[in-house]
Structure formats: structure tokens, C-alpha cells
Chain A
Amino acid sequence: MAVEMKRRLLTTSKAVAEGIAQEMERDPAVFVMGEDVGVYGGIFGATEGLLARFGPERIMDTPISETGFIGAATGAALSGMRPIAELMFIDFFGVCMDQIYNHMAKIHYESGGNVRVPVVITTAIGGGYSDGAQHSQTLYGTFAHLPGLKIVVPSTPYDAKGLMIAAIRDDNPVLYMFHKGVMGLGWMTPNPRATGEVPEEPYTVPIGKADIKRPGRDLTVVTVSLMVHRALDAAEELAAEGIEAEVLDLRSIVPLDREAIVESVRRTRRLLVVDEDYRSFGMTGEVITSVVEGAFDYLDAPPARLALPDVPIPYARPLEQYVLPSRERIVAAARDLVAGR
């Protein structure tokens, strides 16, 4: 008699918390530091339930001292621990960037490989809910520019758990960026794609491997995080018109899976990059460059991109919606690309 496999559905935030909990159980060196990660469970739920299970010695609420506790995470990692430090919103990087990029990111290289810095910085990214210019950015491009940090940007509950476990086990500093819109939180706009099947046992998703979330033949849409959801919505609409879009979820920005990008575009011959980060000097430029370098002769059309115009994110809803890539805009850009417009 066949065993009925029980499908277990989790939101992304629960999947993240489960990944952390399982690693904490496996490895006593893993601990969490951050603002309101304890009783509150992290304001985006990434550490929900962990205080009750592991106690305040391992789930540590910190003062609002990002420079201090992120610096301390580096020191703890250099001396045998595997800290997870939560920077509540990526926008707050400004108050602690020296600790991240001059220290955490460079020490391994500076030491000639002598010392390792196994830190995970978890942080919330993204806008779309009128939180203003200091609470809505994604900024992965800013960090990707700096050598020494790995950057993980999951879009599904399954990937979120596997990438979290991989990040904790990685011997490098990993910036683990979750979009508030993919976490499946009750108080955000409902998003059915923020809930999905997640195996109960621990598993890893390799950092640096992109994933085809929907195969297609007419164009490749390269994107990450919440924009994967938007691209999948757009692909459904395009399919109804006979346009088959392939949606390639990078899952991590550093390392960037250039091979997967090039392979896909060689098949589809058209590239659209969708990004919630600022347009210039960022992910879109890097992905397009990879394609120009690796699939130039295969292209049937100039690569296209949708990204935030280079403006701070405005508060007013119509202005914010105007700057964010959307399903409609992805559909329109894909149509143009396929029609050779």
C-alpha cells in the first residue's frame, strides 16, 4: 500500500524560523542576536517561537545598537560561534556598514584565509506598503558590489528554509535578505505564493544556484524575491496570449549563477530583467552584461530591464506604485520584447 505523503504548507517566515531552529538544535554554536527577536519573534516573524525553545542565552534581544551587535557577531564568529544577527530593515545598514563591509566582509581575505567569519545577517527588504524612503529599499546591489559577502534572496518557503540552513553552514558572511512581501505575514497584502510546501526534515538549497520557476521558450525573465511572484503572475497572463515566459529565480545574487542565465537566454533568445532595486549600477546591469558576454550571438532583441528609477522610494501610494515593477509592467515589457518593439 502506497504511503500517503502528507503535504505540509508553511509560510516563508515559518520556514525561515524552522530552518534556524533545526540548525540551533544540531549545532550549539548557532545563536541569534537582534532587536525584538525574542518575545516578539522578529518583527517579520523570522525568529518566531525560538525564544521559548532556546531561551534568552541563545535568542538575544539587543539594544538598538546595530554597530555594536553586528560587530560582536563578527567577533563571535572569529572565535568559534556561528551567529545570526538580524538587521531589522536593510535600510538601517547605514548605521553599521563599517562593521559589515570593512570588517565582516574583508577579514577572511585580509588574513590570507586564516580566519573564517560564519555570520548570517538576516534582514528585511522591499516596499509597496507606504513605509517611506528609509524602510522600503532592497539594496542588494549595494552589498553585491562589495567582495566578501554572499547574498541570498529567497522567493519561496521551500527555498527560504533550504537557503537558511545553507547560509548557517556556510563559512562566509551571508546576507540573508527576505522580502516582507514573501513572508506570508497577516498584516501585509495577502500573497498566496508566500505559502508553500516545506519538508519537515532539514535540507539545504545550494547558494549560488538559480532555479527555473517556470519554463518557457519565448523569453527569459530573470529576477529575485517578490518579483519572482510578480513574474509568475505575468507569465500566466502572457501564456493566455501564447507567449511562454521562462522565469529564472536567481535565489542568490552573490554568487551569481551566470551559467544558468546564459543557458536560459541561449534557448529563449530574449532577456527581461526585473528588479526592485535601483536601476543604475545594480543587478539588472550585471545580469545583462553576463548575457552580452555569454549569449550575444543568440539574442533576437536587445535585453530589456524593469527596475526602480533612480529615486528614493516615495511615500504616496500612487508614486510608490509608479516606481515599483508590477505584473502589468512585466507583461507589457515582455510583449514589447517578443514583438520586437
Chain B
Amino acid sequence: MTPARGAADPSPLARKRARKRPGPDWLRAYERMLKIRLFEDRVNDLYQRGRMPGLAHLSSGEEAVAVGVCLGLRDDDYITSTHRGHGHCLAKGAAVDRMFAELLGKAAGYCGGKGGSMHIADQERGNLGANAIVGGSMGIATGAALSSKQRGTDQVAVCFFGDGALGQGLLYEVMNMAALWRLPVLYVCENNLYGEYTPGTETIAGEALARPRAFGIPAAEVDGQDVRAVHAATGEAIDRARAGGGPSFLWCNTYRYSGHHVGDVDRAYYRERDEERLWREERDPLALARAWLIGDGLTTPATLDQVHAAVTVEVDAGVAFALEADYPDPSKVDADVYA
């Protein structure tokens, strides 16, 4: 394709829209983060009680990245996600009950039970899918951005991936193309310091941010535990993308509280207990948000307690729904191989 078509100059409409963007609903952001936390707690609980098959990868601790990014997105914007994707899915607006149903392999789940934790897709909310291949969705997100551009919409695509995915060559192929063609895509790296059981210090050479910059892609380092900081950085990148300014890259420093997957319980041999405690006690995205929401007079403890109660009810109901739901009928096993 030709890189020229309307690439450099943002449309007046997009510029106006960017200026008029209303401030975010922070209480809603808090609610979404809490929903992710309580959701993941229940996933772990279901696994420990032998009610959930497979080995889910929890995103507890990383809520502010998913929510901070998705807060600035519209329903018709796209995301692609990873093996650690429950948070992205919920942040984009998925329903708790259908997600639990998918995790339990039930017919009422988002993918009819065929996909499971690592393959949830929610087309209605622009979630093009989780992905069990590290870096596997980088081409997909880039292609969705290409499609927005070709169709002449101002939709953007966000590609979530982990620090470990920096090892995949695909990233450098797509960043090059996205920069050449000024595609409306945002590459969001969740730097939780580990890929499985190996620290990033042993697998990433040089400066991570120098990599996108080498392609001329604006890149920023963000405190991934602060939903405001993530939101602000995302807002800039999204405005630029909608206005035809091309791709951006966010390097979000965050931490996964639990194991690589639910079965990874004894972790002392690859990361310090003190490190885990520090992040949990001092860098918790929910506690931090709670403190400034109340401190800045944006809400009251009583309101946050109400939110907690409401989300708990929603999550409990979701689990109950999923546990009671029917399994898919084996006769459906060969449906959906072809459209």
C-alpha cells in the first residue's frame, strides 16, 4: 500500500475530538480494576478447588495497565491480548459471567468453551482475542490498525504483550511497517520483570525503549501501577493515532502478584519474597487509587465500600452462573472449524 494517503496531517475532526475528550470516570476505573482483582481471586480459588481445568495466568497486580489503557478506548477500538488476558478482556467491558463460563469450558462462555482462558475473544467489544503464543497477536493488532486506516475510520488498535515478547522477531517486523505506514496502533508492553521464571535482566539486551525509537516510534516509560499515569500516556498516544500520527509504544512497569500460572506456587527460587511483598504493600494499584480518590475528594470510603460490595455480588453471581451452566455438546466439536 502507499504510505501517503492522508497520513501526515491529522483530520480536523480528529483534532477537535481529541480536544473535547471528557475527563475519565475514575470511580468506574476503580471499579474495573477491582473487578479484575476479584475475578482473578475467584479463578485461583476455582483452580485450587479443582473446579477449573487448565492452568490460568492471573493478572492480579497489573490491573492499572489494562484499565488505564482501555479507559481511553471506545467500544469500537480494538485490542489484542495475551495468555495473561483476563484483565484486558474485563477492562474492555466483557461480562464476568460469560468469562467464568469460558474458563470452566461451558457452552455459555464467550467461545462456547472451545477457547478457554488463553483464547477468549469478544468481538462486540473489539477484543480480537487473547493468544497463547508469546507475541502472537502483534501482527493481528497491526493488521486491525491497517484495516482502520484502509476503511477510513478513526479506530485504533492496542496490542498488549509482555516483556518476554520483546524476544520475538515479529515485534520488529510490525513496528517497522506500522511506522512506515503510520498505522493507528499502540504497542503496550506490560513489563512485569519476568517471562515465566526468568528475569528480564537476563533476556533483554540494551534499552528496551530504544527499540521502538529506532523505528521512529514515540515511546514512553510509564508507572504501570498508577492508573492515572497509564491513562495520560495512553491518551496522548491514542490522540496521535486517531489524528493519523501513527504508532506509539508504552513500556509499563508493573508486577504480577501470583505465579506465572495458578500452579506456580513456590516462587522463592526465582524471585524474592521481599520483592513480592514490596509490590503488594507499596505499589498496589488498587490501594494507590483508593488513596488518591479519597484524598482528592473524588469519592468517599463509603462509596468505595459500596463499589466493593456490588462487584463482589457480580463476581459471585458470575461464578454461580458458570458452575451451573451446561457443557457444550460433544456433537458440536467439529462445528466452527470452517466458516
**A63→B167 contact, CB < 8 A:** yes
- Contact among B131, B196, B337 for A36, CB-based, below 8 A: B196
A314-B113 in contact (CB<8A): yes
Query: Which listed residue, A64, A68, A314, A317, touches B333 by the CB 8 Å rule?
Result: A314
Chain A 43-67: CB-based contact to B (< 8 A → 1; otherwise 0): 1000000000000000001111101
Q: Give chain A residues whose Cβ lies under 8 Å from the Cβ of B167.
A: 62-65, 68
Residues of A within 8 A of B202 (CB): 61
Residue pair A35, B198 in contact (C-beta under 8 Å): yes
B119: which A residues are within 8 A, CB to CB?
Answer: 132-134, 315
Whether B53 sits at the interface, judged by CB under 8 Å, is: yes
Q: Are B113 and A315 in contact (CB under 8 A)?
A: yes
Contacts A64-B134, A318-B327, A319-B105 given; indicate if A40 touches B270 (C-beta within 8 A): yes
Q: Is the CB of A65 within 8 A of B168?
A: yes
Q: Does B22 sit at the interface, judged by CB under 8 A?
A: no
| Interface 9-residue window, one of A109-117, A168-176, A284-292, A305-313 | A305-313
- The reply on B10 being an interface residue by CB < 8 A is no
Q: Could you say which residues of chain A place their CB within 8 Å of the CB of B169?
A: 65, 67-68
Judge whether A316 and B54 touch: CB under 8 Å. no
**Which of B111, B195, B198 is A39 in contact with, Cβ under 8 Å?**
B198
| A/B pair count, beta carbons within 8 Å | 127
Question: Whole-angstrom distance between the alpha carbons of A142 and B197 in the complex?
Answer: 30
A130→B47 CA distance, assembly (Å)? 12
Per the CB 8 Å criterion, the residue count for chain A at the interface is 37
Taken together as a complex, chains A and B put the C-alpha atoms of A95 and B170 apart, in Å, by 9
Contact B53 A39 (CB under 8 A): no
Tell me the minimal C-beta distance from A68 to chain B in angstroms: 7
B 38-95 contacts with A by CB, 8 A: 53-55
User: How many residues on B have C-beta within 8 angstroms of the other chain's C-beta atoms?
Assistant: 44
Chain A contacts of B106 at CB under 8 A?
Answer: 316
Assess whether A129 is interfacial by the CB under 8 Å rule. yes
When the two chains form their complex, are residues A134 and B118 in contact, meaning their CB atoms are under 8 A apart? yes
Q: Given that A64-B203, A68-B169, A132-B118 are contacting pairs, would A316 and B164 also be in contact in the complex, using a CB cutoff of 8 Å? A: no
CB of B218 within 8 Å of the partner chain: no
Q: Which A residues are in CB contact (< 8 Å) with B131? A: 134
Which A residues are in CB contact (< 8 Å) with B216?
Answer: none
Q: With A and B bound together, what is the CA distance between A62 and B196 in angstroms?
A: 12
Q: How far is the CB of A102 from chain B (nearest CB, A)?
A: 15
- Tell me which residues across on chain B come within 8 A of A94, comparing CB atoms: 133
Q: Is A281 an interface residue (CB 8 A)?
A: no
A171 to chain B, nearest CB (A): 29
Cβ-defined contact, A316 with B328, below 8 A: yes
Complex partner residue of A316 from B113, B118, B135, B195, CB under 8 angstroms = B113
Distance of A43 Cα from B261 Cα, bound (Å): 12
Distance, CA A125 to CA B170, complexed state (A): 24
Jot down 14 A-B pairs with beta carbons below 8 A, ordered by A: A35-B195, A35-B196, A68-B167, A129-B53, A132-B118, A133-B119, A134-B133, A310-B334, A314-B328, A315-B116, A316-B328, A317-B327, A319-B113, A322-B330
Give me 14 other A-B pairs in contact (C-beta within 8 A), A36-B197, A95-B168 excluded: A35-B198, A40-B196, A65-B169, A91-B133, A131-B54, A132-B54, A132-B118, A312-B337, A315-B114, A316-B106, A316-B328, A317-B327, A319-B328, A322-B333
